[in-house]
């Protein structure tokens, strides 16, 4: 069987030092591939770095910071390969990462493959091994903060956008990333639309990379919290989750509002609440999509336990920045 060919798309913003490490790791991969870097109007010498040190990399330079999804869509426009692979500019791949990530796509029934991101400071712990959902369509990173050996055998709903492979045809057929998102949640939404179109996702458990999480916006920044609030609200509204009945609305409130209250009362931030409203309006303005709640593998009781654990870790100052 002919090997799957891939184009790696990397969005970047003022991350020249990080990007250098990412591209050097890709240069050491065991399979041939193309690389497209989409530069979100960096001002730190990224363009000069790419021209001088990585002349074989194709570069799309944007006039402004267009965010993650839009940047990826511009990069995918240049892909003439069967598969597109997404890698963040703060990810350092093991030499066999691409070869192993592409392996599940030899099965024609599979259109998405999820790699495994490991925490850079604790490489014995998982950062994300794909996306799983609870009954409110809230997304959770499979295996987060757990040892690599604890990964479940079940397939994820979709890949995390920092280490993902998609069949190019399938990606384009559903419209790529929804450009309503600036960053965060666009990979969840894409996975949902691909699933609704009948596509499957497989985990490439041995395709591993180290992830320096949150290096662009800051994993614990006000900007991240605003974007997270917008994305969550947009998905809830676009998929009309709350319209599934009073019980569903209570579950959403129990999971989401404690975090929003922390932002308001502890951090004195109105931004997440405003973005929550804006995301709801934006989602309701779009044609509705069916909420695929049958994909949920995290029970509400488990989701609530995880949320309470996160709040407790936040209160004690022991929460890794991934969720802060």
Tell me how crowded residue 315 is: count the other CB atoms within 10 A of its CB.
11
Confirm if 69 and 177 have CB atoms less than 8 A apart. Answer: yes
pLDDT digits (tens, 9 = 90+) for 170-190: 999 999 999 999 999 999 999
In whole angstroms, what is the distance from residue 254 CA to residue 133 CA?
A: 16
The per-residue pLDDT for 318 is 66
Helix (H, G, I), strand (E, B) or coil at 147: strand
In whole angstroms, what is the distance from residue 313 CA to residue 65 CA?
A: 33
Angular region, 249: left φ>0, alpha ψ -120 to 50, beta rest: alpha
Helix (H, G, I), strand (E, B) or coil at 313: helix
**Taking 50 as the threshold, does the pLDDT of residue 1 lie above it?**
no
Residue 308's pLDDT band (cuts 50, 70, 90): confident
pLDDT digits (tens, 9 = 90+) for 6-39: 999 999 999 999 999 999 999 999 999 999 999 9
**Residues constituting the chain:** 324
In this prediction, residues 43-63 reach a mean pLDDT of 96
**Taking 70 as the threshold, does the pLDDT of residue 220 lie above it?**
no
**Window from 68-77, 132-141, 217-226 with minimum mean pLDDT:** 217-226
pLDDT digits (tens, 9 = 90+) for 191-218: 999 999 999 999 999 999 999 865 555 4
The per-residue pLDDT for 324 is 39
Give the residue from 58, 64, 19, 18 showing the smallest Cα distance to 41.
64
**Taking 50 as the threshold, does the pLDDT of residue 323 lie above it?**
no
pLDDT digits (tens, 9 = 90+) for 133-174: 999 999 999 999 999 999 998 999 999 999 999 999 999 999
Confirm if 322 and 214 have CB atoms less than 8 A apart. Answer: yes
Give the residue from 246, 244, 159 showing the smallest Cα distance to 209.
159
Give the residue from 3, 15, 26 showing the smallest Cα distance to 163.
26
Listed by start position, the domains of the chain span 6-211, 222-323
Q: What is the DSSP letter of 274?
A: H
pLDDT digits (tens, 9 = 90+) for 265-292: 888 999 999 999 999 999 999 999 999 9
The per-residue pLDDT for 219 is 53
What fold is seen in the domain 6-211?
Spore Coat Polysaccharide Biosynthesis Protein SpsA; Chain A (3.90.550)
83: β partners: 6, 167
156: β partners: none
Which DSSP string do the residues of 198-256 spell out, in sequence order? Answer: T-EEEEEEEEEEEE-TTTTT-TTSHHHHHHHHHHHHHHHHHTTGGGG-HHHHHHHHHHH
**Taking 90 as the threshold, does the pLDDT of residue 4 lie above it?**
no
Q: Pick 312 or 264 by higher pLDDT.
A: 264
């Amino acid at each position: 069987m002919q090997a799957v060919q891939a184009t790696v798309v990397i969005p970047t913003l003022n991350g020249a030092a990080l990007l250098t490490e990412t591209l050097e790791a890709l240069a050491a991969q065991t399979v041939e591939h193309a690389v497209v870097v989409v530069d979100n109007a960096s001002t730190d010498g990224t363009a000069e770095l790419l021209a001088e040190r990585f002349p074989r990399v194709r570069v799309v330079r944007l006039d402004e910071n267009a965010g993650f999804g839009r940047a990826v869509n511009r990069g995918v426009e240049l892909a003439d390969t069967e598969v597109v692979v997404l890698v963040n500019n703060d990810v350092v791949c093991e030499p066999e990462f691409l070869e192993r990530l592409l392996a599940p796509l030899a099965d024609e029934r599979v259109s998405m493959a999820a790699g495994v991101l490991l925490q850079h400071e604790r490489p014995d712990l998982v950062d994300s091994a794909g996306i799983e959902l609870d009954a409110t369509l809230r997304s959770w990173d499979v295996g987060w903060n757990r040892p690599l050996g604890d990964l479940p055998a079940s397939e994820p709903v979709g890949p995390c956008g920092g280490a993902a492979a998609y069949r190019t045809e399938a990606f384009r057929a559903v419209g790529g990333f929804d450009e309503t998102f600036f960053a965060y949640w666009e990979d969840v939404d894409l996975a949902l639309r691909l699933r609704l179109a009948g596509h499957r996702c497989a985990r490439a458990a041995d395709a591993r990379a180290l992830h320096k999480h949150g290096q662009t916006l800051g994993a614990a920044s006000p900007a991240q919290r605003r974007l997270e609030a917008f994305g969550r609200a947009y998905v809830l509204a676009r998929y009309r989750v709350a319209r599934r009945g009073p019980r569903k609305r209570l579950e959403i409130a129990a999971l989401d509002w404690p975090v929003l209250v922390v932002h308001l009362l502890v951090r004195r931030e109105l931004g997440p609440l405003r973005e929550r409203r804006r995301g709801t309006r934006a989602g309701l303005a779009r044609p509705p999509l069916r909420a695929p709640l049958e994909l949920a593998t995290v029970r509400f009781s488990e989701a609530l336990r995880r949320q309470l654990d996160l709040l407790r870790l936040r209160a004690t100052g022991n929460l890794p920045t991934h969720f802060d």
